[in-house]
Amino acid sequence: MQSKQAVYDTLDALHIHYKVYEHPPVYTVDDVDKLSLEFEGTGCKNLFLKDNKGKKHFLVVLEDHKRVDLNLLSKNHDLGRIGFASENRLMKYLGLLPGSVSPFGIINDTNAEVIVIVDKALLSEELLTFHPNINTATVELKTTDFVKFLESRNNTVFYWTL
């Protein structure tokens, strides 16, 4: 399991500028809202999913207050039946605990098994925020730098309208 320092080191190695906000642990979007933190960037939520057979795993990244219809996502992109993956799978594939799910978790996915699906709408935002693999901090970075981070990994990434 990679620490938040590993996330910062990875971003630094990619020459990505970011801002870190430390805060009490948060587990849901509602928890973040209650803290009244003043992020400039768009908050994101991350859903760790698997197909019905447990052979494929997906990390879906979207704006924090947006809802995604998993049945429609599956149907529109021929993913088969999908649903939420277990805590054990989350740890196995991304090295993360519940409440800390983040696209930075793909740092731990050394075999690039997780498919990342980013809501295309996020690409129009200037800044985005994510946990650095722990739920006691939030990282804010430019959307273009987020894309740069994703491109630096070996995972398959799709930008779809969700």
> What is the Cα–Cα distance from 55 to 113, expressed in whole angstroms?
9
Q: Which domains does the chain have, with CATH numbers?
A: 4-160 (3.90.960.10)
Distance CA 19, CA 26 (A): 18
pLDDT tens, 35-61? 777 778 899 999 999 999 999 999 999
pLDDT in tens, 70-115: 999 999 898 989 999 999 999 999 999 888 999 999 999 999 999 9
Antiparallel, parallel or unpaired: β 157-160 and 18-22: unpaired
Q: Three-state DSSP class for 46?
A: strand
- pTM for the whole structure: 0.92
20 in helix, strand or coil? strand
